[in-house]
Structure 1
Amino acid sequence: MRKSERRLALVRMLTENPFATDEKLAETFGVSVATIRLDRQALNIPEVRERIRRVAADRQDEVRALDAHDVVGRIVRLELNRLGISELPITSLHVFARNGIVRGHVLFAQVNSLAMAVMDEDSAVTAKTELRFYRPVRLGETLRARVDVMARHAGILKCRAHTEVDGETVLDGWIWVARASARTWEGQD
């Protein structure tokens, strides 16, 4: 196997298994450990300990309060009871046919489902919202939503919701999500 082919295969293999050691890689490719280290250096691939640390840092929590496919947009980051980030590329399914502007309920659905996904409960519902829309979003743009948990009281999370397109705010406000079994939702500010 030529060096260029081996390096491509090395990248592919480490993408699939970032925990592979230099010794295992050397055995797989039939080369010395020193050759693997030189290949990794040339490709700017860190040693196994650093790869493991990065994988651990990139680990996300799993959605509990609803099915992951019910979250509107693709979850980029999720830390239960702390924060959630999602992205949603706007297609023709999300806009009014006449003017290409995103339907308001799509903007709401993204932050609302993300707020419920952040809750570390088996089931959650929306208790209250205070949202402001700043500008229309158009076909072809990508929404990036972020929900941060600001307070928790009696099974209710108060979340800051913010959505932007290319760094420009399009939606901002608050969403309160409650554990589905929470008895009272009123008076939670």
Structure 2
Amino acid sequence: MKRNKKERQVSLKETIEQKPFITDEALANMYEVSIQTIRLDRMELNIPELRERIKSVATSTWNETVKALAIDDVIGEIIDLELDQRAISIMDITADHVFTRNKIARGHHLFAQANSLAVAVINDDLALTANADIKFIRQVVEGERVIAKAKVIGMEINNRTVVEVHSHVDNEPVFTGVFEMFRSTQEKEGGK
């Protein structure tokens, strides 16, 4: 059932507060209005676009948490992080990420998202990729959102941590990788 503008805007504000990473497209479908209407509503309510909301959350939340690299060096936007445990990032595929001719994302962007997330999850001042076993499962195209989930699956001798990353578009696997990460110090007693 369609709502009037005032009711829609009140509900829209509540929805975005509960789900700050919801897209304008999803909101348009939810409220049965055009994307432009959602954008106008957001502007009237002084609610920034998704990219700015993500950046704001990522900068304020993760800037002090990520140790192994600067938050600006992470490819994609971190939306969840528990050091030496797990991390999640999202990346919207734009024209800058794709081949001009066919609008398919260049593989190095998917790898970079996964690899930088594997570095970010390490609880150390220095983490470098020592080895990676990766697999591209399907093509990703302009306009899709890639969600990468990293999980620490093991600590090994010689200051190594194994991180598994799975990337999805709409719950469909598009990339997987197992990263062997060198860290400058051994896992601390009682860690992980």
SS of 2:140 mapped into structure 1:
coil
1:98–1:181 CA distance, 2 compared to 1 (3 A):
farther
Q: Distance in 2 between matches of 1:66 and 1:173?
A: 20
Query: 1:173 maps to what in 2?
Result: 177
Residue from 122, 125, 131 that aligns with 2:134: 131
1:160–1:61 CA distance, 2 compared to 1 (3 A):
farther
More divergent stretch after superposition (100-109 vs 146-155): 146-155
Q: 4+ residue runs of structure 1 moved beyond 2 angstroms?
A: 58-61
Q: CA deviation at 1:173?
A: 2.8
Residue from 151, 161, 164 that aligns with 2:165: 161
Residue from 144, 154, 157 that aligns with 1:141: 144
Give TM-score, length-normalised by structure 1: 0.63
Could you say what the CA RMSD is over the residues aligned between the two structures, in angstroms? 2.8
**Quick check: 1:110 aligned with 2:117?**
no
Query: 2:83 maps to what in 1?
Result: 80
Q: Distance in 2 between matches of 1:99 and 1:138?
A: 8
Can you give the 5+ residue segments of structure 2 that lack an aligned partner in the other structure? 1-9, 19-60, 187-192
* 2:174 alignment partner AA: V
Q: Distance in 2 between matches of 1:180 and 1:102?
A: 33
Q: Distance in 2 between matches of 1:180 and 1:125?
A: 9
Q: CA deviation at 1:61?
A: 7.2
* 1:166 alignment partner AA: D
> For the Cα contact (< 8 Å) 1:61–1:78, is it kept in 2?
no
Q: Distance in 2 between matches of 1:139 and 1:79?
A: 30
Q: CA deviation at 1:59?
A: 8.8
Q: Distance in 2 between matches of 1:180 and 1:101?
A: 37
Q: CA deviation at 1:113?
A: 0.2
Q: Distance in 1 between matches of 2:84 and 2:153?
A: 9
Residue from 89, 92, 103 that aligns with 2:92: 89
> For the Cα contact (< 8 Å) 1:61–1:79, is it kept in 2?
no
Can you give the 5+ residue segments of structure 1 that lack an aligned partner in the other structure? 1-6, 16-57, 183-189
More divergent stretch after superposition (171-180 vs 90-99): 171-180
1:68–1:59 CA distance, 2 compared to 1 (3 A):
closer
> For the Cα contact (< 8 Å) 1:60–1:79, is it kept in 2?
no
Q: Distance in 2 between matches of 1:150 and 1:160?
A: 7
1:132-151 Cα shifts (integer Å, max 9, x gaps): 11110000000000110000
Q: CA deviation at 1:160?
A: 1.0
* 1:98 alignment partner AA: R
